[in-house]
Amino acid sequence: MSRRDQIRMTDEERKTFISETQTIVINSIGKDGVPHPMPMWFAIGDDGAILMTTFTKSQKIKNLERDPRVSLLLEDGTQYSELRGVVIYGTAELLRDTDAVTDILLGVGARESGGIPDASDEAVRAGMKSTAVKRTGIRVVPERVVSWDHRKLGGRY
């Protein structure tokens, strides 16, 4: 078995790792062709898509309007023997509908706070909607996924 095969996460391990990670780094492509990495909080759609929002006037949105190709990075570990990560490659779909962006904001908020805010609470929804009008949603369906978990090496380098 190759070293690459040894450290690759299973589908279930990847799913768990993604669900337990708070921050994802989205890499868009700047107009000069240089990658533009930015940390984001995110939600996970029922279909496995990664969902984020950012201000419509942000550099990320300008980059994605020009070229929707992205890579997303999630990583963990402070020593080589602990390093874990997932890279997701895909195409960003920009969501401009205020209700869709509100849903993403509620999903991110609920994920980060253990179920709060309550998406069925109209006051909470109205508060989220007031910021959603200034934001754009980003939806990325994984097209290719690469993963690693150095803990599987048992301390061997």
pLDDT of residue 17: 96
Q: Give the side-chain half-sphere CA count within 13 A for 18.
A: 24
Q: What is the CATH number of the domain that holds 8?
A: 2.30.110.10
Question: Which residue from 78, 90, 61, 73 is spatially nearest to 147, judged by alpha carbons?
Answer: 73
- pLDDT tens digits along 92-118: 999 999 999 999 998 888 777 665 555
pLDDT of residue 120: 62
Residue-level pLDDT at 5: 80
DSSP 28-83: EE-TTS-EEEEEEE-EE-TTS-EEEEEETTSHHHHHHHH--EEEEEEEE-SSGGG-
Position of tokens 């090496």? 153
157 pLDDT band (50/70/90 cuts)?
A: low
Give the pair of three-digit tokens for residue 150. 């150095």
Q: Which residues of 134-152 are buried (b: 16+ CB within 10 A; e: fewer)?
A: ebbbbbbebeebebbbbee
The candidate with the shortest Cα–Cα distance to 73, out of 103, 40, 110, is 40
SS3 content of the chain, % helix, strand, coil (to 5): 35, 35, 30
pLDDT of residue 3: 77
Tally of domains within the chain: 1
Which tens digits make up the pLDDT trace of 54-103? 999 999 999 999 999 999 999 999 999 999 999 999 999 999 999 999 99
Tens-digit pLDDT profile for residues 3-55:
778 899 999 999 999 999 999 999 999 999 999 999 999 999 999 999 999 99
**What was the pLDDT predicted at 40?**
97
Task: Say what percent of the chain tops pLDDT 90.
Answer: 75
Range of the domain at 110: 3-153
Burial class (CB in 10 A: 0-12, 13-18, 19+), 86: buried
pLDDT of residue 6: 87
